[in-house]
Amino acid sequence: MHHGSPSFQLIDSSDTNVNGTNVVIPWSTQEHIDARYFTHSTLANTSRVTFTHAGVYKLTVSLGLSGAVARFNGILTLRKNGTTTLSGAGKSGYIRNANGHTQSSLHLTTIVALEAGDYVEAICNREAQAGTVTMVSSQSLFNGFTLSLKRA
């Protein structure tokens, strides 16, 4: 966490299968959230973090992955307001499924300007083989902090 700036960190304890098309990543636990600047529900639309102030934010997503799919590779992106894909993509999640190589991870960090009321969610897409590749319990996180706030 970046101390002194409004921030959040969410983690997931599910076994969501990310090996598909436009898989929206759920976040089950709010490890930390500054509720003056960010909102997140663990009951509905659990993939979304809503920003209550316009500003510039640094966002990071890391997904721990496990699966017995030969040559899996996922693409991790961030999406704003359900339609706009933000700059950057994590594409480092290759799983060979040979000689015990059944785990990997995807990572993405970006800096983005957002307006009050915008929400952001992480999306995973399959780039290669079909099959089940799940998030590893408590090894996946979404965090962010404020770089600057827009003056009213």
Share of the chain above pLDDT 90, in %: 60
- The residue segments making up the domain with residue 129 are 7-149
78 inside domain: yes
Q: In DSSP terms, which residues pair with 133 in a beta bridge?
A: 67
Q: How many domains would you assign to the chain?
A: 1
Q: Where are the alpha helices (DSSP H) in the chain?
A: none
pLDDT of residue 20: 85
Distance from C-alpha of 80 to C-alpha of 64, rounded to nearest angstrom? 22
Q: Are 36 and 44 in contact (CB under 8 A)?
A: no
pLDDT in tens, 108-143: 999 999 999 999 999 998 887 777 787 888 889 999
Question: In 18-152, which ranges are E strands?
Answer: 23-24, 29-33, 38-39, 49-51, 55-67, 74-80, 84-85, 103-114, 119-126, 133-135, 140-149
The answer on pLDDT for 4 being more than 50 is yes
Average pLDDT for 139-150: 93
69 inside domain: yes
1 inside domain: no
**What is the domain-level CATH number for residue 30?**
2.60.120.40
| Cα end-to-end distance, the chain, whole Å | 26
Q: What is the mean pLDDT of the chain?
A: 88
18 inside domain: yes
pLDDT in tens, 56-80: 999 999 998 877 777 778 899 999 9
61 inside domain: yes
Instruction: Return the higher-pLDDT residue of 11 and 96.
Output: 11
55 inside domain: yes
pLDDT of residue 2: 45
2 inside domain: no
Distance from C-alpha of 105 to C-alpha of 15, rounded to nearest angstrom? 14
